[in-house]
Homo-oligomer: A and B are copies of this chain.
Amino acid sequence: MKRNTKKYRSHCPINFAQETFGDKWSLLIIRDLMFKGKKYYGEFLNSDEKISTNILADRLEKLEVDGLLTKARDKENNSKNIYALTQKGVDLLPMLLEMIAWSAKYDNKTGTPAEFIRRLTEDKDSLIRELIAGLGSLKT
């Protein structure tokens, strides 16, 4: 596995987060893994925002190096790789939920279903547990 020897502009936590997943695409890949059950390269490639294939390959590698996801050969289809979130990746869930709540409040065309927002505001902890359960067992 590649070593992560990155130098940070600062160790401010906001900056650390920004440098880890603050580019134009990383969080969308994590979203696909976290909320949409995607796990294959081709699935990420087909998301609505149309990431280009070289950028996808680059971001998957960066996220792997930074320990947010793992890559492994698919047992059932030996020509595919399976990507999965690590605990470090799953731990972004609370932040992503706050992000979703904010966007739902301020984007008047938000794609977030009203029922999701309701659970998010009224019942956040059980929503988190349910989402994590849906991710199955994690890889380190």
Task: Name which of A38-46, A72-80, A103-111, A129-137 contacts chain B.
Answer: A103-111
Indicate which residue in B23, B48, B50, B103 contacts A16 across the interface (CB closer than 8 Å): B103
Known: A102-B17, A102-B95. A12 touches B27 (CB 8 A): no
A18 contacts chain B at the CB level, 8 A cutoff? yes
Identify the interface centre among A18, A110, A112: most chain B CB within 10 Å of its CB. Answer: A18
Residue of B nearest to A116 (CB): B13
Name the B residues within 8 Å of A17 (CB-CB).
Answer: 27, 99-100, 102-103
Interface of A, secondary structure class, is helix
A2 contacts chain B at the CB level, 8 A cutoff? no
Residues of A within 8 A of B (CB): 8-18, 20, 22-24, 27-28, 31, 48-50, 67, 88, 91-92, 94-96, 98-107, 109-112
Q: A13-B110, A91-B102, A94-B101 are in contact. List 8 more A-B contacts (CB 8 A).
A: A9-B50, A10-B49, A12-B48, A13-B102, A14-B100, A22-B27, A91-B106, A95-B99
